[in-house]
Amino acid sequence: MKPLLRNLAEMTAHRDHLRLEVSVVSTLLLQGRETRVRALEMVTRDAETWLRPRSWSDGERIVTSELEALDDPAAIALRCLPELARCIAAGGKSAERIDEHGHTLWMPVWLGERAHACLEITQPKAFTRHQRDVVSGVHLVYQNYQSLLDYSERDALTGLLNRKTFDEQFTRQSGADSWDARHGPDAPSQWLAVVDIDHFKRVNDQFGHLYGDEVLILVANQLRSLFRAQDRIFRFGGEEFVVLLRSATLAQARQALERLRVAIESHAFPQIGHISVSIGFAGAYGGAPVEIIGRADQALYFAKEHGRNQVRYYEDLVASASLKQKVAHDEVELF
């Protein structure tokens, strides 16, 4: 098989966005010995769009950044690349620049109406027609395949990440941001929260499933707008959502979840009026994902049993022996 076809086949064998990106960079490098390729991630910081190198060719190897996108000092503001800024504003496919670095071709990667990344190819000589055809073909395959991948990772109703994607995201985040007991409880850490709409069955029963769906979409939108870009939000099915909060102290996590609870409580849902959510959360460390979800779930059930519309932290409940009491109570009920 020709190298380009082999690389295209290899590209579409990946089910992971980062590996796919690395594979695309490696495919584009086939354009020539002097070609340099970078995949730039687009992030919003202080209401401004930035591009930061996420994967790039470094001589023989392809390197992937280990830095947090928002903290990356190599990020460059989109306004500093006016050709690309104009292209993105117009929803375009490519932009070019010729300067002391050579000929640069940028190709934004669109996901729906949003450009979330950009491929950058630089070489000393002008791009030939053949090179342009190959590069735009690879770019198109990449973009289409990434849309498919993204579609398979999302819940169809709310557009949030689905249950299936949770384990992989969890492992990736906890690997990059694991809690260290030596840093103490005030150190930034990772938290897992389970958010459940209170008495959601009543919404369906009183107003019908379509209104129930509308509530789920509006709650999902609130979740998206209230958490930061590095946090991850999942719909676990039904009226249950899971949030992975990253790099937050316990106080910050508590505050963010409380903010969510208040936002939902005070939102007037069309026709339905007011609803509330109960939230249980736990540190996302010290166990397998299923154990951590189990802890957050216990805190959630405690919140449900004690009046709903509240945020409960697993460790607080253990410290006050509230969860132990519940286990003892369940045992009494069982026998």
- Binding residues for ligand GTP, rule: CB under 6 A, are 157, 196-201, 204, 209, 212-213, 216, 238-239, 304, 308
Q: What tokens were used for 249?
A: 């102290």
Determine the Cα–Cα distance for residues 295 and 193; give it in Å rounded to an integer.
10
Contacts of 201 by beta carbon, 8 Å cutoff, 6+ apart? none
In the complex, the smallest distance separating the C-beta of residue 296 from ligand GTP, rounded to whole angstroms, is: 15
Per the CB < 8 A criterion, the answer to whether 281 and 253 are in contact is yes
In the complex, the smallest distance separating the C-beta of residue 163 from ligand GTP, rounded to whole angstroms, is: 12
Q: Which is nearer to ligand GTP, 110 or 302 (CB)?
A: 302
Please list the active-site residues: 239
Contacts of 329 by beta carbon, 8 Å cutoff, 6+ apart? none
In the complex, the smallest distance separating the C-beta of residue 274 from ligand GTP, rounded to whole angstroms, is: 14
Q: Which is nearer to ligand GTP, 145 or 269 (CB)?
A: 269
Angle of the 200-207 helix axis to the 209-226 helix axis, nearest 10:
140
Q: Which is nearer to ligand GTP, 19 or 308 (CB)?
A: 308
In the complex, the smallest distance separating the C-beta of residue 239 from ligand GTP, rounded to whole angstroms, is: 5
CA atoms within 13 A on the CB side of 162: 11
Q: Which is nearer to ligand GTP, 109 or 194 (CB)?
A: 194
Q: What are phi and psi of 186, to 5 degrees?
A: -90, -5
- Nearest Cα to 280, choosing from 233, 243, 232? 243
Residue of closest CB approach to ligand GTP: 212
Determine the Cα–Cα distance for residues 139 and 118; give it in Å rounded to an integer.
10
